[in-house]
Amino acid sequence: MPVRVRVAAPADIPEGAGREFVVGSRIVAVFRTATGWAAIDGICSHAGGPVAQGKLTGNIVTCPWHGWQYDVTTGHHCLNSRIQQSCFQIEEIGQDLFVTVPD
Ligand code: FES
């Protein structure tokens, strides 16, 4: 059964920034890019680093622990197509941001 949670107000996350939230049993990294919202698994596939704390450049986030990079709009690792962060639905409705995970 999917879990849908209000995580923040849109104004809480400035463009170019990321934030980490717990949604159901998942840690989710939410990013605001120049073109919209993205939500991916917040635990880095390499060694569990906090993806939401990484530097966001365009649509690319760099994990702060060892530098793995992911496209936040697809979850794809930038150098290895076999590595993929899960992506989650994110919706902006009025003054609320909702993330849905397949719990
Ligand atoms: S934990 Fe993210 S790059 Fe190593």
Task: Give me the count of residues in the chain.
Answer: 103
- Percent of the chain past pLDDT 90, that is, above it, reads 99
Q: Which fold has domain 3-101?
A: Rieske Iron-sulfur Protein (2.102.10)
Say what the pLDDT of residue 103 is. 66
CA distance 85 to 46: 10
Atom from ligand 1 closest to the CA of residue 54: 2
What's the CA-to-centroid distance between 15 and ligand 1, angstroms? Answer: 23
Q: Which residues line ligand 1 (CB under 6 A)?
A: 44, 46-49, 63, 65-68
Alpha-carbon distance values, 35 to 6, 38, 51 (Å): 21, 10, 19
Atom from ligand 1 closest to the CA of residue 68: 3
Residues of the chain whose pLDDT is less than 50?
none
Say what the pLDDT of residue 6 is. 98
CA distance 99 to 37: 10
Strand boundaries in the chain, DSSP class E: 3-8, 18-23, 26-33, 36-41, 55-57, 60-62, 69-71, 89-93, 96-101
Atom 4 (ligand 1): residue with closest C-alpha?
A: 66
Say what the pLDDT of residue 77 is. 98
